[in-house]
Structure 1
């Protein structure tokens, strides 16, 4: 059986602040990590759920529903373009990602100066895609109208981050989740609305090309990766993938559209899938030697033993990969986070 090399932290981690997140992750995983995130602390704890509170402040946008729908203080009500407003005229406020990144980077550099974070480890910033936010919080014909507006705002956040953080210290991860709800024609219908007609003519062409454009927007001396995801609400996918075929298809379409190297790809592995059939499509994954592959086969519920079964199954198809959880662990039960981090180290060799 292959021993995976290295570990990847997808993004969210169930601690209250960035310092505890980074100090604990570095202490438990050390040289297993090439990059370390801030844990998506504060309002980012539930991925993009804080975005309606931010963009809903823009002139020309309004919330749907009279009463807030609160999730730990965040109002999850969707957003609409107000009647008679041209979407192109809407100017969104700062989205919060750059502010959070710069604040956490200051903590990162202080911990590195103290020796708590090893030299050479990069600071990882996770960002959503415009499709992810727009599909989640807008409806119908508002989606294609507001997507380019949100994309401009999000790329502005990226530009602020890359202007302020030294490129040799930085890694950007694009989180690609809602796209798979669109492609799988299921999963988010009740929550996010399942009718995407009028938005995409060819989903399998347009969605990977949109993510490729985001990757290409990252300066070439900044590392960049993609996290392909089937969601994580209550530690469950919005739909269980039959196998890794659509993940492979999406990754290959993305790779074929890139103008720069892709540093890593992360793919989820459901907890019950330790069979060869799930991993078989990965034989067609068109990664070059420059791109690291991480498989999200670490699960809280069965620890190192379960991860070992999934590693054995994957090893017959992809001989070189690192380990991760299938999504972030920001919503894992309290008290389980350190155990999950230790499992990464138990099943993977440190980077040499």
Structure 2
């Protein structure tokens, strides 16, 4: 059986603030982590769910429904639409919040590294959603195609601000890719999205979109991709038959990108410790760092070892991760999840 080396924290971590996230990650997994995130604290705790509150403040965008839809952390989950008579191309979106959060957390990261809490050479990891995730989740009908380039430009402005405020040699950017997998798998709530967006098979369009985002990260900054099937209530929006679509999509994006990926993360469902799930990994294109999301809260190191054994038949060099962020894991379980990463991996 392969001994995985290294670990990846996918993004969210169930602690209240960035400093605690970084301190605990460095203490328990410091020799396994090439990069450390801030845990996506605050409004980002629920991934993109805070974006309607941000976008709904823009002139030319309206909330759908008269009454707010309450969501944890004071979020209003009502969807969005382009206001009647508004020209989407003329809408000016406010700052999305990702750059401001990254620059604030970077100061914490830098201080902890100067104090020796975080090892020299460790990078600061910033996770960003793909524009398609927000557009497909909160807009509908023709509004999706109209607002997509506007929101994409806003995301790239956030990226530019992050790049201007954090030294490139210290920075890692991860693109979080979940809605795309829902569309590829034609999962409930996703499969019909692209039918109305453009005719034909959406696969090539999804590849081109993600490749462009990878290429937007300049040389000198690490670029990673986290493919995901969601974790609402610690459940996927669809259970994949195997890793075939993950590998197919990853290979196409790697081929279409002008720059290499620094790392790729692929999830492994808790029920799958059989070789049939992992067999497609034999066809995965080379990538500098591969992380398999096979650590699960419910069965810890023991279950991870079963999935490692199954994956080892098809890939020999990989690190470990959870299948998605652990920000929504039950309170009090975070340290155990982090320790499980260390139990089943060696230092990088």
Q: Same fold by TM-score, threshold 0.5 exceeded? A: yes
Question: Contact conserved, 1:124 with 1:170, CA < 8 A, in 2?
Answer: yes
Q: Residues 294-305 of structure 1 correspond to what in structure 2 (within 5 A)? A: 294-305=291-302
Name the CA shift for 1:14/1:121 in 2 (closer, same or farther; >3 Å). same
Whole-angstrom CA distance in 2 between matches of 1:150 and 1:200: 18
Give 2:197's match in structure 1, choosing from 196, 199, 204: 199
Q: 1:84 Cα deviation (Å)? A: 1.3
Whole-angstrom CA distance in 2 between matches of 1:42 and 1:253: 34
What secondary structure sits across from 1:52 in the alignment? helix
Q: 1:261 Cα deviation (Å)? A: 1.3
Match of 2:105 in 1: 104
Question: Contact conserved, 2:214 with 2:257, CA < 8 A, in 1?
Answer: yes
What secondary structure sits across from 1:196 in the alignment? helix
Match of 2:129 in 1: 128
Whole-angstrom CA distance in 2 between matches of 1:120 and 1:70: 42
Match of 1:221 in 2: 220
Q: 1:196 Cα deviation (Å)? A: 2.5
Question: Contact conserved, 2:181 with 2:229, CA < 8 A, in 1?
Answer: yes
Q: 1:71 Cα deviation (Å)? A: 1.2
Whole-angstrom CA distance in 2 between matches of 1:154 and 1:71: 23
Q: 1:85 Cα deviation (Å)? A: 1.1
Whole-angstrom CA distance in 2 between matches of 1:188 and 1:333: 26
C-alpha RMSD of the superposition: 1.0
Give 2:314's match in structure 1, choosing from 314, 317, 326: 317
What secondary structure sits across from 1:300 in the alignment? coil
Q: Residues 220-239 of structure 1 correspond to what in structure 2 (within 5 A)? A: 220-239=219-238
Q: Which ranges of 4 or more aligned residues in structure 1 deviate by more than 4 Å?
A: none
Whole-angstrom CA distance in 1 between matches of 2:285 and 2:203: 17
Q: 1:229 Cα deviation (Å)? A: 0.4
Q: Residues 32-71 of structure 1 correspond to what in structure 2 (within 5 A)? A: 32-71=32-71
TM (norm. structure 1) is 0.97
Q: 1:222 Cα deviation (Å)? A: 0.1
Q: 1:198 Cα deviation (Å)? A: 3.7
Residue 290 of structure 2 is aligned to residue 274 of structure 1: no
Provide Cα deviations, 1:285-325, integer angstroms capped at 9, x if missing partner. 1124xx21000000000000000000000000011100000
Give the unaligned 5+ runs of structure 2: none
TM (norm. structure 2) is 0.98
Q: 1:127 Cα deviation (Å)? A: 0.1
Q: 1:102 Cα deviation (Å)? A: 0.2
Whole-angstrom CA distance in 2 between matches of 1:235 and 1:113: 36
Match of 2:93 in 1: 92
Give 2:324's match in structure 1, choosing from 323, 327, 341: 327
What secondary structure sits across from 1:31 in the alignment? coil
Whole-angstrom CA distance in 2 between matches of 1:208 and 1:87: 24
Match of 1:155 in 2: 156
Match of 1:26 in 2: 26
Match of 1:247 in 2: 246
